[in-house]
Copies of this chain bind each other. A is one copy, B any other.
């Protein structure tokens, strides 16, 4: 089964993936913060009974049934938020088997519906989320105010309750040192640019998350159009910067060296891997290297620390994991 994070979608040289998240609450229950475990579980089952009949691909997973390793691996795959791993009681996840739909129950809101797609696919992701949202609305009393829109526990989500985001690979703009200027520009336009794992996370491997900030007094369509239009400009800037950088022999050399290290190293930390694979990704996009992008996408997810442990059902030391990571890179890249 090919996961969304492995495929290469539209504008996949810069846009790794798209995510649309809708925050919803059910009127019959107070907000999550005020719900005890028992009522949370009651609510989980109610939502499960709406979603599971929609498609056989959905599974219902109680968070307390998962090991820490499994939970952190889910964060690494962007299926759940880091916060969602901390207090498992009364929390459950509805996950599609190709992992493109992930519904966190009792995270900050009763329902955090997320749809992920490869590449630049805001409309597709939104439509898929919207269809599931319509099912929820038809079967449950979703908290909605005619004037404000969807009611959410945190005011920053009030209105559309929608956060749409694009995972962008911006190695050339990072190299040119223009990201902080870009961040300040997009913030004036109602967007934010952050590390790959959201607020306060670093831009490991030159991967950034561009998302809308405004949910109130704006329609979903307007928010998506705004995000798409700014994203297109950033994509173009990144492509121009890459073209410029690849005129530089030292930069081209650094791409080949990264490839050589990945193919031969016997130990590799996740941070170094992310940094080197970023260069390899640019090399592929500029026709310098010939590596299957799906392989790169797969490694980028499968070599995250907890995902390695989860796959091997082991609790490796960091040193052992670095050796396993290096071995799996060599196997994938033919070192």
Contacts and interface: CB of A to CB of B under 8 A. Distances in A.
A4 interface: no
27 contacts: A249-B266, A249-B267, A249-B319, A249-B323, A250-B267, A252-B266, A253-B265, A253-B266, A253-B267, A253-B326, A256-B265, A256-B266, A257-B261, A257-B264, A257-B265, A257-B266, A259-B264, A260-B260, A260-B261, A260-B262, A260-B263, A260-B264, A260-B265, A260-B335, A261-B261, A263-B263, A263-B264
Contacts of A250: 267
Q: How large is the interface on A (under 10, 10 to 19, 20 to 34, 35 or more residues)?
A: 10 to 19
Interface string A308-332: 0000000000010001001000000
Contacts of A265: 253, 256-257, 260
A307 B3 CA distance: 54
Contacts of A259: 264
Contacts of A260: 260-265, 335
A320 to B, nearest CB: 10
Interface string A258-283: 01111111110000000000000000
A313 to B, nearest CB: 23
A257 B263 CA distance: 9
Contacts of A249: 266-267, 319, 323
A122 to B, nearest CB: 38
A248 to B, nearest CB: 11
A252 B260 CA distance: 16
Nearest to A266: B253
Pick the most buried of A257, A259, A263, A323: most chain B CB atoms within 10 A of its CB: A257
Contacts of A263: 260, 263-264
A263 B264 CA distance: 10
A194 to B, nearest CB: 32
Nearest to A256: B264
A261 B263 CA distance: 10
A326 B260 CA distance: 13
Contacts of A335: 260
Contacts of A257: 261, 264-266
Contacts of A267: 249-250, 253
A265 B252 CA distance: 9
Nearest to A265: B257
